[in-house]
Amino acid sequence: MDNRPIGFLDSGVGGLTVVRELLRQLPHEDVVYIGDSARAPYGPRPAEQIRDYTWQMVNFLLTKNVKMIVLACNTATAVVWEEVKAKLDIPVLGVILPGASAAIKSTTHQKIGVIGTPMTVSSGIYQEKIQHLAPDMEVTSLACPKFVPLVESNELTSSVSKKVVYETLKPLVGKVDTLVLGCTHYPLLKPIIQNVMGPSVKLIDSGAECVRDISVLLNYFELNKSRELAGQNHRFYTTANANSFAAIAEKWLERSVNVEHVNL
Amino acid sequence: MDNRPIGFLDSGVGGLTVVRELLRQLPHEDVVYIGDSARAPYGPRPAEQIRDYTWQMVNFLLTKNVKMIVLACNTATAVVWEEVKAKLDIPVLGVILPGASAAIKSTTHQKIGVIGTPMTVSSGIYQEKIQHLAPDMEVTSLACPKFVPLVESNELTSSVSKKVVYETLKPLVGKVDTLVLGCTHYPLLKPIIQNVMGPSVKLIDSGAECVRDISVLLNYFELNKSRELAGQNHRFYTTANANSFAAIAEKWLERSVNVEHVNL
């Protein structure tokens, strides 16, 4: 039993897709969230910079006395998950292995697509993890550099978004039966992505899959919060404008949220 | 990536219900199983003896170079899981927390029944774990000392079994909406138990729930077996008669198995 909050970090608002799933599956747990929207997107940045920025957020979360840290960002997971996990004495989760495992279970024709930021795709980490577990899988990866800026500017259903998603994903249509949304921002574009890919393609939300892992690890490390305490003490921090962050967060989480601006 | 087998231990054949689920969900993993049928049932034994016997099996599994140990036995989990987990440097899983979590998720009226061996029930561990996570749950526990001997003697569908199950479970009928099968032997009696409890009662198979945890921890600790290697190198050991064990195992696992007698 451990009543401390769970820490989440992301380059911006994308990790909220993980938080939404957490609040559904584990509504009694408390959340501390830090989004680095001022420096998003991370995808096109060099690995060393992503590493520095992620550590700044990790250290910020540690000052909030968290019991677990979730890298709710595929780019950060690709670059620095193993290093952070090795250095901290609390559990550290990434979103890539849960997404890779779910894709292997889901695919019916061994044809998996992965979309992500330029860094996630160029790291080849999804392909590596999927093919390590299941060498017969055909993995096709595609960088979607325009998706995170769309989401960060709250363009979730505009005609601009539809056009960008359609043009970006065209090379994958008809080629895969399962598509990993390898960036936690992308579930915010899920209806458009599903529409472009077609109804038979299974979309894997790496962040939502990660919540199953959070639940198991809370059990394994005996870190669950007691349900005697109401789980309403969530705190959100952003390096950019608090109101802009709150607008997206409140819509996505379907509740009012308290957002503070913070400098890292 | 780690191609060593996963070790399972049980007081007898009950842990095979966990193995069956493992082979369904993670068919590429290898299994080493030890069942202490010669000394089953564990349930009526004193805690100190259960502790000694379980450690004998743990040490046996360690000689087989396992990468993870699953206490596929509620009684052993109740008595010694935390101790074994603390002492070994490989992950050690029990079946109680996964069962308790699944019951909390399943119940619709906060009325959970738990059936188990006398030791599991008198330890109060399910009630403790469930109410720690969710204090508003009403937990009714019932010891079923006759169930394990029925299963160990392969009496899975006889009229004797039906009579024993009916008479034992009568106090719970109509009182709970969810029933935890808090002994890995009990899923072998599942059709009879479901029939007695009624179709609306959700039965929680603690062993099957545990496989979800195995999968997540294989990911977290990066211990998955490569799928390049076929997962057909399973080994089963029993402290009692190998042929009797094989008869139950082959029926339950729907495949031929290789069983060796061993003295602990």
pLDDT(B75) > 80 = yes
Residues B71/B81, Cβ–Cβ less than 8 Å: yes
Cβ-based neighbour number of residue B29 at 10 Å: 23
* A6-94+208-261 carries CATH number 3.40.50.300: no
Write out pLDDT tens, residues A191-202: 999 999 999 999
Same CATH fold, A96-206 and A6-94+208-261?
yes
What is the structure's pLDDT at A27? 85
pLDDT(B7) > 70 = yes
pLDDT(A167) > 90 = yes
pLDDT(A125) > 70 = yes
Please report, for chain A, the start and end positions of each structural domain, with discontinuous segments joined by +: 6-94+208-261, 96-206
Write out pLDDT tens, residues A56-84: 999 999 999 999 999 999 999 999 999 99
* A210 catalytic per annotation: no
What is the structure's pLDDT at A113? 98
Write out pLDDT tens, residues B33-66: 999 999 999 988 999 999 999 999 999 999 999 9
What is the structure's pLDDT at A221? 92
Pairwise CA distance, residues B196 & B193, whole Å: 5
Cβ-based neighbour number of residue B83 at 10 Å: 14
* Residues in A touching B226 (Cβ below 8 Å): 132-133, 135
Burial A197-219 (b: 16+ CB within 10 A, else e): beeebbbbbbbbbbbbbbbbbbb
Write out pLDDT tens, residues A133-152: 888 899 999 999 999 999 98
What is the structure's pLDDT at B105? 84
CATH class of A96-206: alpha beta
Shortest alpha-carbon distance between residue A84 and chain B (Å): 13
What is the structure's pLDDT at B88? 98
Kindly state the average pLDDT of the residues A25-29: 87
Which candidate in B183, B193, B223, B249 is catalytic?
A: B183
* Residues in B touching A93 (Cβ below 8 Å): 220
Q: What angle do CA A218, B51, B88 make, to 5 degrees?
A: 50
Across the A:B interface, residue pairs with CB atoms under 8 Å apart total: 53
Shortest alpha-carbon distance between residue B12 and chain A (Å): 25
* Residues in A touching B97 (Cβ below 8 Å): 219-220
For every residue of A61-113, DSSP letters joined together read: HHTTT-SEEEE--HHHHHHHHHHHHHH-SS-EE-SHHHHHHHHHHH-SSSEEE
Q: Which residues pair with A33 in a beta bridge?
A: A8, A236
Interface contact A227-B134, CB threshold 8 A: yes
Write out pLDDT tens, residues B93-121: 999 999 998 998 889 999 999 999 999 99
Write out pLDDT tens, residues B202-230: 999 988 889 989 999 998 998 998 877 76
Mean pLDDT for all residues in chain A: 93
Which candidate in A6, A68, A71, A73 is catalytic?
A: A73
What is the structure's pLDDT at A25? 83
* Residues in A touching B3 (Cβ below 8 Å): none
* B73 catalytic per annotation: yes
State whether the Cα torsion B55-B58-B63-B65 is positive or negative.
negative
Q: What is the largest CA-CA distance in chain A?
A: 51
Q: How confident is the model at residue B231 (pLDDT cuts 50, 70, 90)?
A: low
- Residue A126 labeled ligand binder: no
For every residue of A130-141, DSSP letters joined together read: HHHH-TT-EEEE
Pairwise CA distance, residues A219 & A200, whole Å: 35
Q: How confident is the model at residue A227 (pLDDT cuts 50, 70, 90)?
A: confident
pLDDT(A110) > 80 = yes
Interface contact A134-B216, CB threshold 8 A: no
Say what the alpha-carbon torsion angle B55, B58, B62, B63 is, to the nearest 10 degrees.
Answer: 70
Percent of chain B with pLDDT over 90: 82
What is the structure's pLDDT at B133? 82
